Structure 1
């Protein structure tokens, strides 16, 4: 399974959810995982190298990469269909290097927040993605949602995004997300994120 984490808009928690998914699939579900870090900031790769100094055996491998190197990586990544390959995409759409990455995807996870600018970027990302790969399974995650805040455009956003894929339960904004690593997810987050990952991955875990 090749799963992309993407949105044209930065700051929506794309890299964080990539790591959380890697931890969930490898540590909780014993699924072989490789993370490909294509984001410009390479934050996952940095977390991984830092954690390797402090921990013992890493639960999965993190490979820093870019769009240009995907053609070299692709044959290796697609060799074993039973592995979970998680790719953290750069936050842009104006690069033809995204086309082969979009085409190979089995699943795309797109985190977003309920503000107008993020909504427009999310829709544009979904439109381009579906033009390149019409059959791909797209999952939208309302992420970093603040408690007791009323979002006036929520129903409109949900209706529009449901045309391109499915929406999960919202993930609230929690300080604990700053404590995750590529070796560890704080127990306090399990009740928040595990139900969302069950929604996304349950069918695929059953088939693997």
Structure 2
């Protein structure tokens, strides 16, 4: 299964969520996972290299990649239906090289926040994705949500996004998300993230 983690809005937490999901799938569900880091900052690939220097065992591979190399990587990595490929997308949608990525994906996970600008960017990202790949499944993850988020805005945003896909429970804004790396998710996050990850796994992955 090819899963895109993406949103047009920078700072939505997609790279961190990709790490959390990869850690969960490998450590809790024994899924074979490869992460393709297409983000311009290459933050996941950098953390992966740091972990190797510290001689930590890698539970999965991280492949830094650009859009031009994707078709080759897709054919190389997708050898089995049980393989899970997580793609951390770049934050911009203005490159035709993204079309092969969009058309080959099975699922999009879209972290977002409850503010007007992020909501608009999320809807734009969703519309573009659905236009290129009408059959793709979408999951929206309310991420880095502060305790003072307005309930009325949350209801309105959820109503609009639910027209395109499912919405998971909220992930709060917590400092310990900064400690996530390619081999470790803080235990303190387990109660927060497990309901979200279990929902995604149960709805989309357990049959693969």
Question: TM (normalized to structure 1)?
Answer: 0.96
Counterparts of 1:172-191 in structure 2, within 5 Å, are 172-191=172-191
2:199: which partner in 1?
199
Q: Deviations over 1:62-84 (max 9, x none)?
A: 00001111122121133222111
C-alpha distance in 1 between matches for 2:131 and 2:21: 26
1:67: which partner in 2?
67
C-alpha distance in 2 between matches for 1:89 and 1:184: 22
Cα pair 1:114 1:151 within 8 Å, conserved: no
Cα pair 2:111 2:143 within 8 Å, conserved: yes
Q: Deviations over 1:49-98 (max 9, x none)?
A: 01112243210000000111112212113322211100000001111111
Task: State the SS of the aligned residue for 1:207.
Answer: coil
Indicate whether 1:130 and 2:130 are aligned. yes
C-alpha distance in 2 between matches for 1:151 and 1:125: 24
1:25: which partner in 2?
25
C-alpha distance in 1 between matches for 2:84 and 2:71: 18
C-alpha displacement at 1:156, in angstroms?
1.6
Counterparts of 1:5-154 in structure 2, within 5 Å, are 5-154=5-154
Cα pair 2:14 2:110 within 8 Å, conserved: yes
C-alpha distance in 2 between matches for 1:142 and 1:46: 26
Does 196-205 or 78-87 show the bigger shift?
196-205
Cα pair 1:144 1:174 within 8 Å, conserved: yes
Cα pair 2:56 2:183 within 8 Å, conserved: no
Task: State the SS of the aligned residue for 1:153.
Answer: helix
Q: Deviations over 1:82-132 (max 9, x none)?
A: 111000000011111111101111110000001100000000000000011
Task: State the SS of the aligned residue for 1:3.
Answer: strand
Task: Calculate the aligned-residue CA RMSD, in Å.
Answer: 1.1
The count of corresponding residues between Structure 1 and Structure 2 is 208
C-alpha displacement at 1:147, in angstroms?
1.4
Q: Where does the alignment leave 5 or more consecutive residues of structure 2 unmatched?
A: none
Task: State the SS of the aligned residue for 2:85.
Answer: strand
Q: Where does the alignment leave 5 or more consecutive residues of structure 1 unmatched?
A: none
C-alpha distance in 2 between matches for 1:55 and 1:142: 34
* Residues 129/80 of structure 1: CA separation in 2 closer, same or farther (3 Å cut): same
